[in-house]
Amino acid sequence: MSTYDGPGQPLGFLQLCADRRFHRQVMTAFERHGGLAEAHGPAAPMSYWIEATPGGALALGDMTVSCRHALSKGARVMGLAVHGDDCGGYGRWSTTDLEAALLGTMERRASMPAYAGATHLGFMATEQALRVYRVNGRKAELECWYAIGDAACAERRTSGEPLD
């Protein structure tokens, strides 16, 4: 038994777009907001499964093979990520439409019995900001957002410490 999958340790599952601009920021925010960074420290990246495809969470089903596997292994921190600014999967969608679809997907999954007891986090990335949502009760609500700098991985939190 390793330190990152011991009894009671939170495990996660993150679906995101393959786009090279956003995955690192999304993963870092997922580790933080999902409680994985706090629980696992430097081993946080080993505490969750990922599934990436063009279009991110919206292009992946509610119950993929990877998702089923992660759930069976105890994953209960679920992350769904999409992004604007010319996504290869949803290039013609506006950021507003993508964000609405993300929130709807989060709320739908939170109502599915297969996800009983799970935490649902959502991540909407653009070249300007990363917004973090969480399903509270049945509704997806904005929890926090980060401004994104021009330089790669130069993200910073709008208030408080750096994201990375």
Minimal distance, residue 75 CB to Zn ion, in Å: 23
| Rounded alpha-carbon distances, angstroms, from residue 19 to 56, 87, 90, 116 | 9, 7, 12, 30
Minimal distance, residue 54 CB to Zn ion, in Å: 5
Q: Which is nearer to Zn ion, 17 or 102 (CB)?
A: 17
Chain residues 10-49 in contact with Zn ion, contact rule CB under 5 A: 17, 19
Q: Which is nearer to Zn ion, 17 or 50 (CB)?
A: 17
Q: Which is nearer to Zn ion, 10 or 55 (CB)?
A: 55
Distance (Å, whole) CA 51 – CA 16: 6
Asked if residue 87 binds Zn ion (CB under 5 A), the reply is yes
Count, residues near Zn ion per rule CB under 5 A: 4
Contact residues: Zn ion, CB under 5 A: 17, 19, 87-88
